[in-house]
């Protein structure tokens, strides 16, 4: 295996720049880097224009926008139709609710002013006590978590040297 000496490899690597001085090499490298930077800036500018071009985005997403607009119109139409239906049938619905209320009052006169959801006093107190306990526990856990995550603002105490003589 024959290997070329290092000086031959260096000469071959520098064959292009052999006749140039150091200053010319630096200027040529700076010009090349400057050209690459300008190309990169032009590409970024082109992408910025494309990203902020509303017409381009409208043309690109035309089908989606038409679909969303049609769906919005259908939803608005259904909402208006339902509101009209409710307003036209309001009196009938109120009469039906009053008949049902009178029927319930006739069937159960002891529950006229109370709702079925009313619970005994003991059950309500127990529920409220459990909620108070759960809230207090959650607050304590959150406070401890915050104290462990956020360092205190008090300056750190430096232990006094006990070796002073």
Per-residue model confidence as pLDDT tens digits over 14-32? 555 566 678 888 999 999 9
DSSP code for 4: -
Asked whether the predicted pLDDT for residue 159 surpasses 50, the reply is yes
User: What are the respective helix, strand and coil percentages of the chain, to the nearest 5?
Assistant: 75, 0, 25
Rounded to an integer, the average pLDDT of 94-116 is 82
Banded model confidence at residue 113, pLDDT cuts 50, 70, 90: low
Q: How far apart are CA 83 and CA 78, in angstroms?
A: 9
Give just the sign of the alpha carbon dihedral 64, 69, 73, 76: positive
Q: What's the predicted TM-score (pTM) here?
A: 0.38
């Amino acid at each position: 295996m024959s290997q070329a000496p290092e000086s031959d490899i260096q000469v071959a690597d520098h064959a292009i720049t052999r006749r140039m001085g150091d200053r010319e090499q630096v200027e040529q490298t700076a010009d090349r880097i400057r050209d690459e930077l300008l190309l990169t800036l032009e590409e970024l500018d082109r992408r910025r224009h494309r990203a902020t071009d509303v017409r381009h985005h409208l043309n690109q997403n035309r089908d989606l926008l038409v679909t969303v607009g049609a769906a919005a119109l259908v939803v608005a139409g259904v909402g208006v139709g339902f509101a009209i239906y409710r307003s036209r049938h309001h009196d009938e619905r109120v009469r039906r609710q009053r008949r049902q209320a009178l029927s319930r009052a006739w069937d159960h006169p002891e529950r006229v002013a109370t709702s079925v959801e009313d619970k005994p006093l003991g059950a309500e107190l127990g529920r409220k006590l459990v909620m108070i306990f759960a809230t207090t526990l959650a607050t304590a856990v959150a406070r401890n978590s915050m104290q462990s995550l956020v360092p205190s603002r008090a300056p750190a105490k430096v232990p006094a040297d006990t070796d002073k003589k």
